[in-house]
Amino acid sequence: MMQQPPPQGAQPMPSPPVQQQPVTIDSVMELLRDGIQRRFRIDIETDSTVSGDEAQERNDRTQFIEATTKFVEAWGPIVQQQPIMSALAGELLLFGTRAFRVGRSLEEVIEETVEKLDAQAAMPKPPPQPSPEDQAKIQQAQIKAQAEAQKAQATVAGTQVKAQADQQSAQIDLASKVMDHQHATAEHNMEMQRMHTEAAVEAEKLRLKAIADQRAHDLKLEQMAHAAKQAKKPKGEK
């Protein structure tokens, strides 16, 4: 059966109110666990909240700033000492911020800051800077180490110079001994050659004397034989 349209000029029937589902703790926890939905701010305002006076707005902002400042002052040193606590500190800051209506406009900035703090906490921590007293001790140790190094270098240089001098002296001594040996060898060779020459001359003299003696002996024998032959001839025969 088709419904007849309302006559002209008649007011339409109001739609029945939509019944809202009650908010439970499970739905709230599910919303908090959802990382995507946490990026959005759900602002539900009624006429009573919008019509707040300016004095209450300023009071709320002051309380929010004071609470945030105290939180940062309390948790800042903790995060500096233990960077692993930055995630918990960020969640606590967001948890407290959401309790202030005036702080909802800063949630996104706070979330970005928390993410940057988490990324910075994941980076390797630079080594701590030494105190002025430690720096003075380090400088003194460096100066002492440099002096010891220079002393060691001077000792090594002196040792090298002495070793070079000893080596040169040994080379000169060896060269002198070699020259002395060569000179002695040359003198020995000359003496041997002189003795050999003298022996050769003496041998030649003996040979010539032996030859002369042999000839004299032969001549004497010839003379004796001739004399004997002459003696056997008769007188008057030539």
- Total H helices, total E strands in the chain: 6, 0
Q: Any idea how long the chain is?
A: 238
Structural domains counted in the chain? 1
pLDDT digit string (tens) for 15-40? Answer: 554 455 555 656 656 655 565 555 55
Position 211 confidence tier, pLDDT thresholds 50, 70, 90: very high
Q: What angle do CA 104, 109, 115 make, to 5 degrees?
A: 125
Q: Give a yes or no: residue 166 inside a domain.
A: no
Burial (CB < 10 A; 0-12, 13-18, 19+), residue 155, is: exposed
Q: Are 93 and 110 in contact (CB under 8 A)?
A: yes
pLDDT digit string (tens) for 119-133? Answer: 776 676 666 677 788
C-alpha 238/C-alpha 208 separation (Å) is: 38
Percent share of the chain, pLDDT over 70: 72
Residue-averaged pLDDT of the chain: 76
pLDDT digit string (tens) for 91-104? Answer: 888 888 877 777 77
C-alpha 39/C-alpha 33 separation (Å) is: 11
Instruction: Give me the pLDDT at residue 18, please.
Output: 47
Q: Give a yes or no: residue 81 inside a domain.
A: yes
Is residue 2 scored above 50 in pLDDT?
A: no
Q: Give a yes or no: residue 8 inside a domain.
A: no
Instruction: Give me the pLDDT at residue 1, please.
Output: 43
Q: Give a yes or no: residue 29 inside a domain.
A: yes
Is residue 197 scored above 70 in pLDDT?
A: yes
Pick the residue with more confidence: 165 or 28?
165
Q: Give a yes or no: residue 229 inside a domain.
A: no
The range of the structural domain enclosing residue 109 comes to: 25-40+54-122
Q: Which residue has the tokens 């902002």?
A: 61
Report the predicted TM-score, pTM, of the whole model to 2 decimal places: 0.32
DSSP string, 164-208: HHHHHHHHHHHHHHHHHHHHHHHHHHHHHHHHHHHHHHHHHHHHH
Instruction: Give me the pLDDT at residue 135, please.
Output: 82
Q: Pick the range with the lowest mean pLDDT from 15-24, 55-64, 133-142, 184-193.
A: 15-24
Burial per residue of 27-46, b for 16 or more beta-carbon CB atoms within 10 angstroms, e otherwise: eeeeeeeeeeeeeeeeeeee
Burial per residue of 157-181, b for 16 or more beta-carbon CB atoms within 10 angstroms, e otherwise: eeeeeeeeeeeeeeeeeeeeeeeee
Q: Give a yes or no: residue 91 inside a domain.
A: yes
DSSP classification of residue 3? P
Q: Among candidates 37, 42, 106, 102, which has minimal Cα distance to 72?
A: 106
pLDDT digit string (tens) for 146-164? Answer: 888 888 888 888 888 888 8
DSSP string, 127-149: PPPPPHHHHHHHHHHHHHHHHHH
